[in-house]
């Protein structure tokens, strides 16, 4: 789908009444959610829209990092929804995708029915925090380009954030590794430079403006994002938080059936 000069890979699954736009995390792709949604109770009620974000999967890889910024990506989502002829969607965002989902929800609230955030944040609160994170993101981007994709994927797979994935079956861990390797170094580097946590605006002060229902989720072993969700819930009027037991950062990967049931019930009610 050609969107604002860029070709996006968009996968539409199902023909249900409720449209759910699903946004993956850094190094991921839309198909990451297929296992989870295949077990959705009442999945016939939904139409799932799975998007490969800029620089990821089968979507184009612009050479200018500024094309990746969250404002541009948000405008792209609106264009995709318009081209699909959809008036309202429920948004689901994981990690980086959660920041993008939140940006869309704040920018286009009348188009949002419900919002699900998995292991997500509204960004960093202070200029100092953002500056430090931007420097760290730039170093990581240089690492990707300087050392190559394989070296980066091996490093990324072993950061503490994904420690809980080491207990997954070998076949699943191999699938995650191969999917990450099916990205491009320049796409991932530009994604960090253009839409990393350090470069995006803070949305903390906008949370009180949200009027639609919001489900916040984090795995019990992901203490940082549990804490962030518990702080967010105080600012979002129609929100509730579910901490998923025996799970880390990527709940949809580690507990796809259990988590799918929780998300499905929230979207259906």
Domains in the chain, ordered, with CATH? 2-123+201-268 (3.40.50.1820)
- Look up residue 99 and give its two tokens: 């920041």
- Look up residue 193 and give its two tokens: 């430079």
Q: What pLDDT was estimated at residue 203?
A: 97
Q: Residue 212 pLDDT more than 80?
A: yes
Q: For 116-167, what is each residue's pLDDT tens digit?
A: 999 999 999 999 999 999 999 999 999 999 999 999 999 999 999 999 999 9
Q: Residue 261 pLDDT more than 90?
A: yes
Nearest to 240 by CA among 225, 230, 255: 230
- How far, in Å, CA of 41 to CA of 166, rounded? 28
Q: For 10-22, what is each residue's pLDDT tens digit?
A: 999 999 999 999 9
Nearest to 119 by CA among 221, 225, 258: 225
Q: How confident is the model at residue 41 (pLDDT cuts 50, 70, 90)?
A: confident
φ, ψ at 216 (rounded to 5°): -105, 135
Q: Residue 39 pLDDT more than 90?
A: no
pTM greater than the 0.85 cutoff:
yes
């Amino acid at each position: 789908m050609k969107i604002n000069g860029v070709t996006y890979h968009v996968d539409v699954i199902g023909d249900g009444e409720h449209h759910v736009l699903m946004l993956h995390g850094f190094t991921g792709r839309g198909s990451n959610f297929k296992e989870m949604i295949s077990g959705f109770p009442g999945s016939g009620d939904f139409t799932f829209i799975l998007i490969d974000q800029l620089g990821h999967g089968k979507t184009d890889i612009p050479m200018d990092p500024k094309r990746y910024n969250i404002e541009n990506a948000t405008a792209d989502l609106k264009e995709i929804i318009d081209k699909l002829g959809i008036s309202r969607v429920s948004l689901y965002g994981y990690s980086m995708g959660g920041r993008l989902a939140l940006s869309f929800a704040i920018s286009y609230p009348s188009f949002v029915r419900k919002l699900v955030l998995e292991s997500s944040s509204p960004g960093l609160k202070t200029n100092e925090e953002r500056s430090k994170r931007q420097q760290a993101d730039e170093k990581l981007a240089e690492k990707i380009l300087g050392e190559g994709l394989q070296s980066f994927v091996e490093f990324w797979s072993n950061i503490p954030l994904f420690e809980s994935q080491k207990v997954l079956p070998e076949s699943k861990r191999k699938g995650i590794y191969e999917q990450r390797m099916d990205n491009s170094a320049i796409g991932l580097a530009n994604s960090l430079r253009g839409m990393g946590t350090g470069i995006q605006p803070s949305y903390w002060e906008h949370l009180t403006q949200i009027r639609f229902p919001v489900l916040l989720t984090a795995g019990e072993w992901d203490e940082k994002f549990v804490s962030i969700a518990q702080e967010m819930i105080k600012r979002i009027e129609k929100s509730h938080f579910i901490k998923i037991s025996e799970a880390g950062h990527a709940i949809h990967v580690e507990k796809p059936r259990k988590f799918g049931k929780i998300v499905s019930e929230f979207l259906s009610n």
